[in-house]
Amino acid sequence: MIYLDHNATTPVRPEVAEAIGRATLEYPGNPSSVHAWGRRARDAVEQARAQVAELLGAMPEEVVFTSGGTEGDNLAIRGLCLGASVRLGKRNHLVTSPLEHPAVAGALEAITQGQPGRWTLTTLPVGPNGALELVDLASALRDETALVTLALANHEIGTVYPVARFAELARARGALIHTDAVQAAGKIPLDLSALGVDAATISAHKIGGPKGVGAVFVRRGVDLQPLVAGGHQERERRPGTENVAGIVGFGVACSLAHRRLRDTNQHFERLRQELVVMLGRVPGARVLGAGESRAERLPNTVTVLFPGAPGQLVAIGLDLDGICVSTGAACTSGSLRPSPVLRALGLDPTQASEGVRISLGWTTTSEDIDALGQVLPEIVARVRAATTTTATATATATTTMEGPAW
């Protein structure tokens, strides 16, 4: 099995799996309990919190554990708006982009539809390479802007955004700013304090941790209201008994990611170069996203279009040859529609359905790229041929049927 879909999820690192197994047995207590077992579990959670904070460039008390990226985006965006509705008075305006993960788009929809008439939403325009311009954000901001939410790095095309500059603009207008850093964490250096955002979301399973754990960074002093009621955990911001073993594993994953960041980055850069060279040998292949400069993109993410070949069929063809890639955000029904992110880049629905996302991870080797290169050109050619010839066959059949004998 060759796994090149690390933006969907990446395998748990062995050190993490071991830590989770150990923690499951060693910390049977409830971290809220006052007795010895409780104190030990609490200590484990707090150690993990420090490890997560270190990766983020944050203080431990600024880290709120969640169940992952989707909950994190919801808690941050909706929790800030609930807080803002008290603190920010009449502010009623939200700013986002069409490139955001469905968790962000969904959280915003929940707010605007949950309080009809209370909120207005501005969606920033997108450049053809997926760029978001500072000037567009500046003109979108109003005195009433409560919250800006823009991803640090895009999950499909890998573009990295100048969120520090976005944050300066937002804060200058008194607005809060949240960033979805799920895809950026562990791949590029993070310093959320320096970045100047008020909240950020990360997820454990994208960096070698377990599924079902994540965290929201909330800048000290920023009011974040909980979305569920019934407990005091996580400083009243996320009630519910902590997933102790998962959190311990998350902490170890953050620690490893932090320590190996430089190596990881070089590893990805080298493999990505190999990948782009290989893709160049597939006729017509077109790699999407901003320029080739390192600062502007995640080193592990490549979305490529094969004109005339629906991406879903290319991905399935690769799967049948034991290679896992994706056509964009994974979907629970197993079916895929043209990617909204690719549509936002100005691609028409046909082009947007021709994207294939190849995302590298800590297990990826040069041999994986070679193996992909071995089969990809043939699969793309086969899909292209099937897509054109079947259409022709059907058309021929229809016309012949109505005509004389043949």
Partner 1 sequence: MKAERIVVAMSGGVDSSTAAALLQEAGHDVVGVTLKLTDATGTAASLGGRCCGPRDIEDARATAALLGFPHYVLDETAAFKRAVIDDFVAEHAAGRTPNPCVRCNEKLKFGPLLRFARAVGARRLATGHYARLVKKDPRSLPWLLRAQDLDKDQSYFLFGVPAPLLEDVVFPLGERTKDEVRALARHHRLPNASKPDSQQICFVPDGDHKAFVEAHGGAGRPGQVIDEQGASVGTHEGTHRFTVGQRRGVPLDDGRRRFVLRIEAATGQVVVGPRDALQIRNLRVSDVRWTSGSVPRIWPLRCAVQLRHRALASPAWVTAPDDSGCGVDLDSPAHGVAPGQAAVFYDGDRVLGGGWIAP
Active site residues: 331
- Residue 313 as a binder of partner 1 (CB under 8 A): the answer is yes
Minimum distance between the CB of residue 285 and partner 1, rounded to whole angstroms? Answer: 17
**Helix 36-56 vs helix 14-26: angle between axes, to the nearest 10 degrees?**
160
Nearer residue to partner 1 within complex by CB, 367 or 402: 402
Q: How many CA atoms lie within 13 A of 148 on its CB side?
A: 32
β 355-359/120-123 pair status? unpaired
- Residue 113 as a binder of partner 1 (CB under 8 A): the answer is no
Chain position carrying tokens 């994986």: 368
Nearer residue to partner 1 within complex by CB, 23 or 379: 379
Q: How far is CA 168 from CA 58, 195, 198, 285, 381, in A?
A: 18, 9, 11, 38, 48
Nearest to 296 by CA among 188, 167, 143: 188
Minimum distance between the CB of residue 320 and partner 1, rounded to whole angstroms? Answer: 6
- Residue 405 as a binder of partner 1 (CB under 8 A): the answer is yes
Nearer residue to partner 1 within complex by CB, 241 or 396: 396
Enter the tokens of residue 330: 């994974």
Residue 90's CB is within 10 A of a number of other CB atoms, namely 8
Q: Which positions from 315 through 354 interact with partner 1, judged by CB under 8 A?
A: 316-317, 319-320, 333-337
Which of 97, 154, 312, 339 touches partner 1 (CB under 8 A)?
312
Enter the tokens of residue 168: 């300066």
Task: Phi first, then psi: give them for residue 286, nearest 5 degrees.
Answer: -135, 115
Nearer residue to partner 1 within complex by CB, 366 or 389: 389
- Residue 199 as a binder of partner 1 (CB under 8 A): the answer is no
Say how far apart CA 203 and CA 357 lie, in whole Å: 20
Q: Which positions from 368 through 387 interact with partner 1, judged by CB under 8 A?
A: 382-383, 385-387
Minimum distance between the CB of residue 338 and partner 1, rounded to whole angstroms? Answer: 10
Residues lying near partner 1 in the complex (CB under 8 A) are found at: 310, 312-313, 316-317, 319-320, 333-337, 382-383, 385-387, 389-391, 393-394, 396-398, 401-402, 404-406
